[in-house]
């Protein structure tokens, strides 16, 4: 009996110790104010904000454009400007998972997961012209870089690895690719990000590759790679380095020195992480059905947990004008962090 009591005592002490390691102290938890939620009808899977305008991937409800300028200036409710859905004539949307926007050329890029990229000309504030579907049937995520002559779409492509196409506007008013290539990767690409001359791409079970960009009409050159545990899903490039969402493997911080990657530092190991967004010393982890988690990354090699908030099913977050925008099944939630 004494042995059983001792064993139970050890188990209890171990549980308390592990629990204290997993959860931050109550006085260090960052709180949130849920300011408002944009009703996207379909699941809000991602968003990008350009000049106080939000371009929103609304899942089975297509994509939408919202005016945030009055909200940022006076707190007024954001207004839906326009959008395209499955009932729009001349195209066939199924489930939009990502939207990008070229301010230089007024072009919207709407991505369906594992499908083609829709190119839409924004003729004015509320008038759109669908220009067709491009790239690959297995596109997972894209980034767009433009110049005065056109733009390059870089794609994490489950068929072709890292794919890029440079598009120029033709005399018949269609964006048509005039150069490009497919760069093989040993695995299935899942995410992509670009910052300056660096491109990073996650490769599912194998980790992340880092590429150098010389110009947007030449092949990116791979310069380094790093292995991660779990399935590498999405990657975010910051001034501090890479932050990788690794689903069941939690998240990773990987430093960058020039074009070399440091040793991966794992954190949030007990969480299922699908995306990491960063602003200054704050990281927000999207946890799918788990909501969001805050981390203090003042020292990125030792991130400190600052709490978890159950705000619904969250796909991704972005920082904009001192707010956190959470892309969720409930819509686009606008949050404020209270530290």
Question: What residues does each domain of the chain span?
Answer: 25-338
Confidence check: pLDDT of 64 > 50: yes
Query: CA-to-CA distance for 308 and 103, rounded, in angstroms?
Result: 35
The CATH topology of domain 25-338 is Methylamine Dehydrogenase; Chain H (2.130.10)
Q: Which three-class secondary structure string do you get for 280-308? A: CCEEEEECECCCEEEEECCCCCCCEEEEE
Alpha-carbon dihedral 130, 136, 138, 140, rounded to 10 degrees: -70
Return the bridge partners of 283, or none. 278, 295
Confidence check: pLDDT of 86 > 80: no
Confidence check: pLDDT of 23 > 70: no
Asked if 305 and 297 touch (Cβ cutoff 8 Å), the reply is no
Indicate the SS3 state at residue 118. strand
Confidence check: pLDDT of 9 > 60: no
pLDDT higher for 22 or 208? 208
7 — pLDDT class (breaks 50, 70, 90): very low
Cα separation values, 68 from 15, 78, 82, 98, 196, Å:
46, 5, 13, 19, 27
- pLDDT tens per residue across span 173-202: 999 999 999 999 989 999 999 999 999 999
160 — pLDDT class (breaks 50, 70, 90): confident
Average pLDDT on 147-157 reads 97
> Residue 51's CB: how many other CB atoms inside 10 A?
8
Give the burial class of 196: count Cβ atoms within 10 A of its Cβ; 0-12 exposed, 13-18 middle, 19 or more buried. exposed
Min mean pLDDT across 81-90, 147-156, 162-171, 239-248 is at 81-90
Return the bridge partners of 59, or none. 96
Confidence check: pLDDT of 5 > 70: no
Q: CB neighbours of 11 closer than 8 A, spacing ≥ 6?
A: none
> Residue 169's CB: how many other CB atoms inside 10 A?
16
Q: Which three-class secondary structure string do you get for 56-110? A: EECECCCEEEEECHHHHHHCCCCEEEEEECCCCCCCCCCCEEEEEEECCCCEEEE
- Which residue carries 């409710």 as its tokens? 77
Confidence check: pLDDT of 22 > 60: no
Q: What is the DSSP letter of 173?
A: S
């Amino acid at each position: 009996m004494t042995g059983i009591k001792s064993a139970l005592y050890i188990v209890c002490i171990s549980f308390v110790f592990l629990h204290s390691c997993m959860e931050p102290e109550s006085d260090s938890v960052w709180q949130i104010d849920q300011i408002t939620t944009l009703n996207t009808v379909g699941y809000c899977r991602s968003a990008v904000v350009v000049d106080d305008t939000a371009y929103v991937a609304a899942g089975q409800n297509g994509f939408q454009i919202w005016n945030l300028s009055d909200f940022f200036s006076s707190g007024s409710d954001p207004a839906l400007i326009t959008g395209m859905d499955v009932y729009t004539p001349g195209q066939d949307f199924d489930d939009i998972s990502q939207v990008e926007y070229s301010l230089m050329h007024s072009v919207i890029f709407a991505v369906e997961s594992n499908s083609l990229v829709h190119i839409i000309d924004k003729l004015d504030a509320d008038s759109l012209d669908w220009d067709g579907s491009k790239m690959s049937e297995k596109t997972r995520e894209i980034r767009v870089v433009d110049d005065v002559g056109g733009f390059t779409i870089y794609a994490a492509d489950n068929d072709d690895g890292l794919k890029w196409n440079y598009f120029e506007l033709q005399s018949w008013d269609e964006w048509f690719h005039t150069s490009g290539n497919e760069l093989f990767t040993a695995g299935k690409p899942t995410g992509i990000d670009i910052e300056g001359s660096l491109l990073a791409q996650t490769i599912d079970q194998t980790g992340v590759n880092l590429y150098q960009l010389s110009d947007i009409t030449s092949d990116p050159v791979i310069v380094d790679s790093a292995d991660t545990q779990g399935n590498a899903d999405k990657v975010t490039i910051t001034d501090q380095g890479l932050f990788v969402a690794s689903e069941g493997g939690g998240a990773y911080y990987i430093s960058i020195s020039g074009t070399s990657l440091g040793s991966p530092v794992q954190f949030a190991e007990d969480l299922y992480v699908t995306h990491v967004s960063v602003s200054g010393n704050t990281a927000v982890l999207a946890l799918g059905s788990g909501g969001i988690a805050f981390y203090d990354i003042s020292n990125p090699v030792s991130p400190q947990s600052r709490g978890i908030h159950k705000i619904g099913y969250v796909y991704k977050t972005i920082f904009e004008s001192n707010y956190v925008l959470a892309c969720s099944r409930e819509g686009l939630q606008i949050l404020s962090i209270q530290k």
